[in-house]
Amino acid sequence: MSDLGGVDTQLLEVESLHKSFGGITALGGVTFEVESGTLTGLIGPNGAGKSTTFNIIGGMLQADSGAIQFGGEDITGESPDYIARKGLVRTFQMSREFQNMTVIENMMIAPTSQRGESAIQSITPGLREDVSEQEEDIFEKAWEMLELFDIDHLALENAGALSGGQRKLLELARALMLEPEMLLLDEPFAGVNPTLEKKLINRIERLRDKGQTFLLVEHDMDMIMDHCEQVIVMHQGDTLLTGTPEEVQSEERVIEAYLGENVE
Amino acid sequence: MSVQDDPIANRLPDSLVGYWESDLVKIGATLAAVYLLYLIAGLLLGYGLSGQLNSLRRLTFLIVLYSIGALVVNLHWGYSGLFNIGVVGFMAVGVYTTTILTRPVAGQNPTGTLSGLGLPLPVAIVGGVLAAALVGYIAALPSLRLRDDYFAIVTLAFAEIIRIAVKASELQEFTIFGATIGTGGGRGIRTYPNPINQFFEGTGAPIVDAVSSTIDGPLVSGWTFVLTLTLVLVCVLWLIIRIVESPFGRVLKGIRDDEEATTALGKNTGSLKIRSFMIGCGILGFLGIIWQGSQGYISPGLFVPQLTFFIWIAVIIGGAGSNTGSIIGSILFVGTIYLGPGYVRRLIEKFISLSGQATNFPDALGMLAGGDVSGILLYTLDQTSALRVILTGILLIWLLKRRPDGLFGNRREMASSIDIESRVRDRQSSDATDGGRE
Amino acid sequence: MWERLPFSEYVVKAAVIVFGLTVLFDMFRQLTTGELTIALIASYLWRGLSYGLIIGLAGVGLSLTYDLLDFANFAHGDYITLSAFAGWGVAYLIAGFNQFKPGSLLFLGVGGAVYPRDVGVSVTSAPVAILFGLMVAALAGALLAIALDSAVYKSMRGAGNITLLIASVGVAFVLRYTAVYLFTQQTFGLTIDSWSYEVSLPGGTVTITSASVLLLFVSVFIMLGVHLLLTRTKLGKSMRAMAANQQLARVTGIPSEKIIRRTWLIGGALAGVAGFMIALLQGTINYQIGWTLLLLVFAGVIMGGIGSVYGAIVGGILVGLITRVSLIWIPASFTEATGFAVMILILLTRPAGIFGGDAA
C-alpha cells in the first residue's frame, strides 16, 4: 500500500479480507489492488468468493477483518449508500432493476445528490421550479444513456417486463448514471447476445479511456483476456495471483485451479 | 406500451372512454353515482329537502375524511413500503395534543372541567400536528432495522401504547411545571369549539335566518364545514402529489420496490423512510384534529383499530400506489359498506312490515325455529356496526385473493416534477420519423 | 438488510444489564423500607406466572404458523375468543342443564337471560362442566383454525407475508364482529367464588385460586404433550423439518399440506385452551379477550424466538411476569404498555429472540 503521499494510482486497495459464515470460511485473506483508469478482470472458479468480495467492498457485508481503501480513504465498514456516493458503484449479478417502475424512472432515480430528494424542495412552490430544472438535465442524460444502450424504445415500459438481456443493459446504464469513479460489474454480460456484448465492452473501453475504472467479474475468458489490462485470479477464498492476461494465462496454478472445477 | 387494465374502461362505450381517462372525471363520476344512490334512497324514505341535504352532508363528511386517511396510508404503504397499522394512534396524538394545548387555563374555565394551556386554536393545531409528526419519527426509527411485518407489529404496539396513555387514570389530570392539564382518562375530554359553528352563531347568523324557511338552520354551518374539509382534502392531495411526483417520491418508490438496490445506488433509505413516515403522521394528526376533534368530545374509545382497518380497506379497494384510487376507494367504502347497512335497514323497516322482536341472537334463532323470519331479520339489521366490519373483512379477503391491485393499483403515476411521459413520446416519435434506429 | 456494526449491540446489552441490576437493587431497597413485601412480590409472581402460561399456550400456535407459513396471523386472538365462547357455552349448558333454556345457556345468558350466580359455575362446584368446556374449546379452536386455512389461506400459499398478514387482519375482524353479532359487546360474568388457598408470607397473604391451580396442571400436561409430540412422533419431526426448510421437506416426500393442517390443528387447540383459561381466570369474557391478549402473545413469541415452541412458552411466561412484576414501579394502567415496550426493545436488539435462529 502506498502511503508515501506521492501520486497514488491505486484507486481500490483491498487488504487481507477475511469472512466466515458459520463455520465456513468464504474469504481467507483476499488482497488486491485496482489501478485507476483500468479495465480489470476478476476471475476464478465458482465458489472462489468473488461475489462475497464484491458484497464486502460494496458495503453490503462486513468483513471479519481486513481493510478497504478507495481513493485513499478507508471505507471499511461503511454503509452501502455511503460507498456508492463516494463513487464506488456496483451492479448485481441478478439484475435488480425496479420492476414496478418504468425504465426511464429507473434511470432518473440513479444520480446522486438530486435537489428534489429533499421533500421540502420538492414541495415548496419556488424551490420546486429549481428541482424541475434539474429534472430536465437528468432526463436528458438518462435519454442519452438509453440511446447509447439502444433501449430508448423501452423507456415507458415497466422494467419488470423487459427481457433478461435488456435488464442487464438497464442495470449497467443505470449504474453509469451515477458517474462513478469506479464500477464493480458482476457478470454484466450474462444473457446478452455476442454482438451487443461486443458493443458494450467497446463502450466500457471508451469510458475507461476517459478515466473511469472498471472491475469486472466475468466467466467469458476470451472477453477478459482480450480487453482487460489486469486480471485478478481468486480461488477458494484467496487471491491466487494478479497480473496481465498473458501472465495469468500461462500460470500453471491458474490452470490447475480451473481444472479442479468444471469450467467452460 | 403497458396496457391499462381498467375494469370500468373496458366496459364503457368508446365515446366515453376518452373522458374516463381524466382522474377528475373518475372521481366526479363515482361521487355522482353514490350521491344519486343516496338521493334515491332518501326519496324512498320520504326525506324532504333538509333531510336529503343532511344525508348528503354526512356522506360527504365521511368520504372526505376517509380520503385524507387513505391518502396517507397510500403514501406510507403504496409509495414507501411502510406498513402502518397504528394509524389511529397518530390521529389521537394530534387531537389530544391540540385539545390539551387549547383548553382554557385553570381558573378561566367556564365549565369548570379539565384545564389546558389556553393557547389559541391555530397555535394548538400546529402543536398537535408537530406532536404527531414527532411520535411518527420515533415510531419510524424501528423501520430502519425491521422487515415489514415486524414494523407493522411495532406500529400497532405504538397505537396501543398511545391509547393506554390517554386512557390511564394517572394522566387524567396532573400538574406539570405549575400547569394543570389532563387527558380526561377513560371518560374523555371536551375538545374545542368549531370555528365555523361559532361564525354562524355570531356574525353569520343572518345567513342562517335567511335560508331557514327552506332548510334547517344547522345545515348551513354543517355544509360549510364539509366544504371546508373538502378544501383541506384538496390541499392534502396537492401536497401528496407534489411529494410523490418528484425525485423524493421516486426514491420512495424505489425503496418500496427494492430497498437494498436503492441503497446500492447511494440513497440514504433510512432517512427517506423516516421523512415520509413523519409527513404522513403529521397529516394524520391533523386528520384527528378535524375529525374527532370537530365533534366536540374525544375519548380513548374513538381511536380503535377498527378505524385503521376501515381506512386501509379504502386504500386496498382503490389500489395501493394510486392517489386517485385512494379517493375513489373511500367514496365506495363510505357509500356502500359504511353507511349502506343503515340505509338498507331503514328502507326495509319502511317497506316491509316485520312484527316480532328479538333483542338477542338465541331468541332470534328461537323465532326462526318456530318459522318466524322477522326476528332474525330485525336482529341482523340492528347489528349495523358489526355487519359493517364483517362485510369489510370479507371484501378485504376477496380483494386480496382476486384483485390484489384494487381498482387502480397497477396504474403508472410517474414520479417526477416534469412530465416525463410526453417528453419520451416526443423523442420516440421524432426518432421514428428520423427513419428508425441505426 | 445487511449486517450492522456490533458496537451498538454491546451498548444495548450493557444497558439492559445495568437496568436489570438497578431494578433488582431497587426491589431490595423497597423490601427493606417496607414499601414492598415478600407477600406482594410472591403474589405478583404467581399472577404473572398464570397470565404468562396462558400467553405462552396461545403463543405456541402463533409461533408455529408464523414459522411454517411465514406470516403473522393477526386472527389468532380471535380464534382464542371464539373458541372460549364455544367452550364456556357448553360449560354453561352442562352446568345449568335442566334449569334454564339451552339457548340462553349456550349464549351465556346474553341480554340478562341467565346470571352466573344462578348457574353457579366454578372449578370446584362444577368440575365436569369446566372440563368439558375446556375440551370443547380446544376442539373448537382446532376446527376453526383448519376451516379458515381451507377457506382463506390455502389458496394463498405463495402470496407473500404481507398479503397473508393483511388477509389475516380481515379474518380477525370478521371473527371478532361475528362474536359481537352473536353475543353483543356485553362483558359476561362467568363464575362464582370458588375454593382458594391462602399462603401466609412476610407482609401478607398470597391467594392461590383453584383456577390458577387448574391452569398450572393443564399447562404442564399440555407442554409435556407438545414436547412428546415434537420429539417422539413422526409428525413432530416432520413439523420441525418443515419449519427448517419447506422446499426440502416437500422434496423428501413429507406431505406438507398435511403438516400444515396439523400445525393449525395444534395451534388452534392451544388457542382454545388459552381462551377458556383466561376467561376462567378472569371470571369474565367478552368479544375482545383474545384481541387484548394478541399483542402480548406477539411479544412473548418474539421474545422467545419465532418457530420455537419452548421459546413461545418461555417468552409468554416472561411477558406475564414482566407485566405483573412491573406493578412494583409502574401504575396499573400502564402494565400492558410495559410488555409492548419490552417487545419493541427486543425487536430492535435481538429480533431472533432468546431461542431463535439467525436474525430476521
Chain C hits for B183, CB-CB cut-off 8 Å, are none
Return d(Cα A263, Cα A257) in angstroms, integer: 10
C2: closest CA of chain A, how far (Å): 5
Residue of C nearest to A63 (CA): C3
pLDDT value at residue C159: 80
Per-residue confidence band for C276, with pLDDT thresholds at 50, 70 and 90: very high
Return the residue matching grid coordinates 330485525: B378
Chain B and chain C share a number of CB contacts under 8 A equal to 146
Name the amino acid, one letter, at C63: S
Q: How many helices (H) and strands (E) does chain C have?
A: 14, 4
Taking 60 as the threshold, does the pLDDT of residue A120 lie above it? yes
The grid cell for C333 is 394502567
Count CA within 13 A, CB hemisphere, residue B80.
Answer: 29
Chain B hits for A81, CB-CB cut-off 8 Å, are 263-269
pTM: 0.90
Taking 70 as the threshold, does the pLDDT of residue C6 lie above it? no
Return d(Cα A184, Cα C180) in angstroms, integer: 60
Name all contacts of C20-27 with Cβ < 8 Å and 24+ positions apart: C23/C329, C26/C329, C27/C328
Whether residue B362 and residue C177 make contact (CB cut-off 8 A), yes or no, is no
- Nearest CB among B239, B262, B416 relative to A108 is that of B416
Full pLDDT tens readout for chain B, 438 residues: 333 456 666 666 666 666 566 788 889 999 999 999 999 999 999 888 889 999 999 999 999 999 999 999 999 998 898 999 999 999 999 999 999 999 888 766 566 577 788 889 999 999 999 999 999 999 998 888 888 888 999 999 999 999 999 998 888 888 888 778 888 888 888 888 899 988 888 888 888 888 888 888 888 889 999 999 999 999 999 999 999 999 999 999 999 999 999 999 999 999 999 999 999 999 999 999 999 999 989 999 999 999 999 999 999 999 888 899 999 999 999 999 999 988 988 888 888 877 667 788 888 888 878 877 778 888 888 888 898 999 999 999 999 988 888 787 766 678 888 888 888 888 888 777 665 444
Residue of A nearest to C4 (CA): A62
- A50-61 pLDDT, tens digit per residue, is 889 999 999 998
Q: Are B321 and B409 in contact (CB under 8 A)?
A: yes
Per-residue confidence band for A173, with pLDDT thresholds at 50, 70 and 90: very high
Whether residue C351 and residue B259 make contact (CB cut-off 8 A), yes or no, is no
- B167-192 pLDDT, tens digit per residue, is 988 888 888 887 788 888 888 888 88
Pairing state of beta strands A65-70 and A73-74? antiparallel
Return d(Cα A83, Cα A112) in angstroms, integer: 12
Return d(Cα C277, Cα B84) in angstroms, integer: 32
Q: A interface mutation test: which of B5, B414, B424 has the most A CBs within 10 A? A: B424
Whether residue C5 and residue A77 make contact (CB cut-off 8 A), yes or no, is yes
The grid cell for B412 is 403508472
pLDDT value at residue C64: 86
Count CA within 13 A, CB hemisphere, residue B377.
Answer: 14
Whether residue B269 and residue A81 make contact (CB cut-off 8 A), yes or no, is yes
Per-residue confidence band for C360, with pLDDT thresholds at 50, 70 and 90: very low
pLDDT value at residue C251: 61
- B47-88 pLDDT, tens digit per residue, is 888 899 999 999 999 999 999 999 999 999 988 989 999 999
pLDDT value at residue B44: 92
Q: B interface mutation test: which of A99, A109, A147 has the most B CBs within 10 A? A: A109
Residue C253, classed as helix, strand or coil, is: coil
Paired strand residues for A232: A42, A242
Q: Give the C-alpha distances (Å, rounded to integers) separating C98 from C94, C107, C109, C124, C306.
A: 9, 16, 15, 20, 47
Residues of A with a Cβ under 8 Å from any C Cβ are 59-62, 77, 80
Q: A interface mutation test: which of C1, C2, C3 has the most A CBs within 10 A? A: C2
Residue B57 neighbours by CB under 8 Å, 6+ apart: B219, B222, B223, B226
Across A84-101, average pLDDT: 90
Residue of B nearest to C73 (CA): B149
Share of chain C above pLDDT 70, in %: 92
Task: State the average pLDDT for chain C.
Answer: 85
Return d(Cα C131, Cα C139) in angstroms, integer: 12
Q: Are C163 and B404 in contact (CB under 8 A)?
A: yes
Whether residue B418 and residue A132 make contact (CB cut-off 8 A), yes or no, is yes
The grid cell for B257 is 420496490
H/E run at residue C196: strand C196-201
Sign of the dihedral defined by the CA atoms of residues B354, B360, B363, B369, in that order: positive
Sign of the dihedral defined by the CA atoms of residues A56, A57, A60, A63, in that order: positive
The grid cell for B310 is 376501515
Taking 70 as the threshold, does the pLDDT of residue C242 lie above it? no
Return d(Cα A52, Cα A61) in angstroms, integer: 8
Per-residue confidence band for A6, with pLDDT thresholds at 50, 70 and 90: very low
- C151-184 pLDDT, tens digit per residue, is 999 988 878 788 899 999 999 999 999 999 999 8
Sign of the dihedral defined by the CA atoms of residues C241, C243, C249, C255, in that order: positive
The grid cell for B418 is 416534469
Q: What ipTM does this complex have?
A: 0.88
Taking 60 as the threshold, does the pLDDT of residue A1 lie above it? no
Chain A hits for B321, CB-CB cut-off 8 Å, are 100
Sign of the dihedral defined by the CA atoms of residues B108, B112, B116, B119, in that order: negative
Backbone angles phi, psi at A92, to 5 degrees: -105, 150
Return the residue matching grid coordinates 476471475: A43
Name the amino acid, one letter, at B381: L
Backbone angles phi, psi at A182, to 5 degrees: -140, 140
Per-residue confidence band for C216, with pLDDT thresholds at 50, 70 and 90: very high
Chain B hits for C111, CB-CB cut-off 8 Å, are 359-360, 363
Residue of A nearest to B263 (CA): A81
Return the residue matching grid coordinates 411466561: C317
Per-residue confidence band for C359, with pLDDT thresholds at 50, 70 and 90: very low
Paired strand residues for A182: A88, A213
Q: How far apart are the first and last CA of chain A?
A: 35
Residue B435, classed as helix, strand or coil, is: coil
Name the amino acid, one letter, at B55: S
- How many CB atoms are located within 10 Å of the residue C105 CB? 24
Q: Which of A91, A54, A72, A104 is nearest to A192 (CA)?
A: A91
- C113-126 pLDDT, tens digit per residue, is 788 888 888 888 88
pLDDT value at residue B404: 81
Chain B hits for C69, CB-CB cut-off 8 Å, are none
Q: Are C290 and C80 in contact (CB under 8 A)?
A: yes
Backbone angles phi, psi at B346, to 5 degrees: -65, -40
Rama region for A109: left / alpha / beta (φ>0; ψ in -120 to 50; rest): alpha
pLDDT value at residue C245: 62
Q: Which of B320, B153, B73 is nearest to C74 (CA)?
A: B153
Go through chain B and tell me how many residues it has.
438
Whether residue A60 and residue C2 make contact (CB cut-off 8 A), yes or no, is yes
C337: closest CA of chain B, how far (Å): 5
R_g over Cα of chain B: 25
Rama region for A27: left / alpha / beta (φ>0; ψ in -120 to 50; rest): beta
Tell me if chain A has a CB within 8 Å of the CB of C358: no
Q: Which residues of C13-23 are buried (b: 16+ CB within 10 A; e: fewer)?
A: eeeeeeeeeee
Backbone angles phi, psi at A41, to 5 degrees: -100, 145
Backbone angles phi, psi at B272, to 5 degrees: -70, -40
A181: closest CA of chain B, how far (Å): 13
A27, with CB counted inside 10 A (0-12, 13-18, 19+), is buried
The grid cell for B403 is 384483485
Chain C hits for B362, CB-CB cut-off 8 Å, are 101, 103-104, 106-107, 110, 113
pLDDT value at residue A4: 45
Q: Give the C-alpha distances (Å, rounded to integers) separating B268 from A55, B149, B279, C262, C348.
A: 18, 22, 17, 44, 19
Tell me if chain C has a CB within 8 Å of the CB of B306: yes
